[in-house]
Amino acid sequence: MDEQRKPEKALVPSLRFEGFNDPWEQRKLEEVATFGGGHTPSMADPCNYENGSIPWITSQDVKSQRLDKTTTLITDKGAAELNLYPVGSLVVVVRSGILRHTLPVAELQKPMTVNQDIRVIVPTEALSSHWLLGYLEGNSRNLLLKFGKVGTTVESINFSEMKSMGLMMPSREEQSRIGSLFAKLDSLIALHQRKHGKLKTVKQSLLEKMFPKEGEDVPEIRFEGFTEPWEQRKFGELALLRRGLTYTPNDVVDAQQGTRVLRSSNINEDRFELSSDDVFVCEDAVNIDPVQNNDILITAANGSGRLVGKRALIKGLTDSAVHGGFMLLASTEEPDFLNAAMGAEWYRRFLHMGVAGGNGALGNLDSKALRDYDLLVPNQGERKAIGALFQKLDSLIALHQRELEILKNLKKAMLEKMFV
């Protein structure tokens, strides 16, 4: 690929495949595509839906760039007054709350019908569907600003105007090369998403089977050689719980001058990560011990009750940091086991009983109640084996998450460089 300097009014992108030098030409979308829509078959007539086999798209289905299945299938009767759009057609969500920030677009992988909140673009021979998908995805924000309707009850797109928008288009051959590249990238992203999702499913299944269910004193699955019943221990016997640092706005300083304060935003699902939005405070404000790698960071208070109790095992911390006043820190000699145990059923039960507030009030985790909570634990050897297993699973999940982020960032950068 060749990097080219864009002229003042660029007629070519900054990044092109070798051998393509012709300027791109402006065409209207309506010159190179036809359009369609759909509606909702009567819900009152079960014959429109029962034992249906024809995919019927709603806005809820458009969640990835390649669409191969829908939540709802309709019958031949239900589809009688609908168009069945061919493979390669693009569907655009034109009415949905998601249009506040995202323009969902997808390419059909099999023939489908649509409802009234979807519009369909059927490319002619002059237009590559893969290329157009990349164009719409890369220009999503601008398209929302230009064609989004304001002042309506539900966010929507003025598709009548969108149909006549101008496109800077390369030759059909160059479209195909660009479109194929992004199709391969999307396939790689989807592959890693599936692997990531399967690993998380395996982890959740093992958490349910390797820790005792309520009323039982042994789990369903155990490592070979371990047969003793699990014993009741208080959480406070397994970990030291500490409240975080309270500070004022006057204590906040630049990153180069202060100590990092870990907050709820440093917990992504159950994974610890540093953020560009992290707060730093002056050293004079720090009156608690710093956090350490292998401590467990816990959200103790939050305006959203569902976020209270989320936790992550701290890994990869290289600079000095403390935890904030709305956080708890659990320090333990067996971090991998305890972190895994906090993903089990007993912890969800505790959060259901031990969190007050939410629904607008500040949700609070009762640290004393957590410290005094009785849970079942195995002997040290079994704890070590369980902790090692879940540490390996978490490492694999994190690896696929990092690869996903790299691929998504690569795609974003190329979308910016390969379209005008």
Helical pair 172-210 and 129-138, crossing angle rounded to 10 deg: 70
The reply to whether 14 falls in a domain is no
Question: Do 57 and 118 fall into the same domain?
Answer: yes
Reduced to 3 states (helix: H, G, I; strand: E, B; else coil), residue 393 is: helix
Please give the full DSSP string across 154-180, using - where no structure is assigned.
S-EE-HHHHTT-EEEE--HHHHHHHHH
The reply to whether 10 falls in a domain is no
In CATH, what number is assigned to the domain containing residue 274? 3.90.220.20
Give the per-residue pLDDT at 381.
97
Give the per-residue pLDDT at 360.
46
The reply to whether 77 falls in a domain is yes
The reply to whether 18 falls in a domain is no
- Is residue 197 within a helix (H) or strand (E), and if so which, with residue range? helix 172-210
Question: Do 221 and 257 fall into the same domain?
Answer: no
Last residue of a domain, one of 169, 186, 219: 169
Enumerate residues 6+ apart whose C-beta is below 8 A from 414.
15, 181, 182, 185
Give the per-residue pLDDT at 151.
65
Say how far apart CA 84 and CA 23 lie, in whole Å.
36
Find where tokens 């949905």 sit: 96
Q: What is the mean pLDDT of each run of 10 residues along the chain (420 residues)?
A: 52 93 95 97 96 97 94 97 97 94 95 98 97 95 90 85 96 97 94 94 96 93 95 97 96 92 93 92 95 97 89 94 96 97 94 68 85 96 97 94 94 94
The reply to whether 5 falls in a domain is no
Residue type for 399, please? L
Give the per-residue pLDDT at 6.
46
Question: Do 370 and 343 fall into the same domain?
Answer: yes
Find where tokens 């057609």 sit: 89
Burial class of 278 by CB neighbour count within 10 A (0 to 12, 13 to 18, 19+) = middle
How many structural domains comprise the chain? Answer: 3
Enumerate residues 6+ apart whose C-beta is below 8 A from 377.
230, 231, 233, 238, 341, 383
Question: Do 180 and 67 fall into the same domain?
Answer: no
Question: Do 365 and 252 fall into the same domain?
Answer: yes
Question: Do 76 and 150 fall into the same domain?
Answer: yes
Question: Do 204 and 276 fall into the same domain?
Answer: no
The reply to whether 200 falls in a domain is yes
Question: Do 410 and 338 fall into the same domain?
Answer: no
The reply to whether 142 falls in a domain is yes
Give the per-residue pLDDT at 306.
85
Question: Do 385 and 270 fall into the same domain?
Answer: no
Find where tokens 């911390």 sit: 317
Give the per-residue pLDDT at 354.
74
Say how far apart CA 256 and CA 173 lie, in whole Å.
51
Question: Do 83 and 160 fall into the same domain?
Answer: yes
Burial class of 82 by CB neighbour count within 10 A (0 to 12, 13 to 18, 19+) = buried
The reply to whether 114 falls in a domain is yes
Do 181 and 392 touch, CB atoms closer than 8 A? no
Q: What is the edge-to-edge ordering of all strands in the sheet holding 271-272?
A: 240-243, 327-331, 296-299, 311-313, 271-272, 267-268
Please give the full DSSP string across 402-413, using - where no structure is assigned.
HHHHHHHHHHHH
Give the per-residue pLDDT at 297.
98
Enumerate residues 6+ apart whose C-beta is below 8 A from 134.
178, 179, 182, 415, 418, 419
In CATH, what number is assigned to the domain containing residue 210? 1.10.287.1120
Question: Do 222 and 272 fall into the same domain?
Answer: no
Last residue of a domain, one of 136, 153, 169: 169
Question: Do 367 and 386 fall into the same domain?
Answer: no
Give the per-residue pLDDT at 285.
95
Domain span at residue 369 reads 231-377
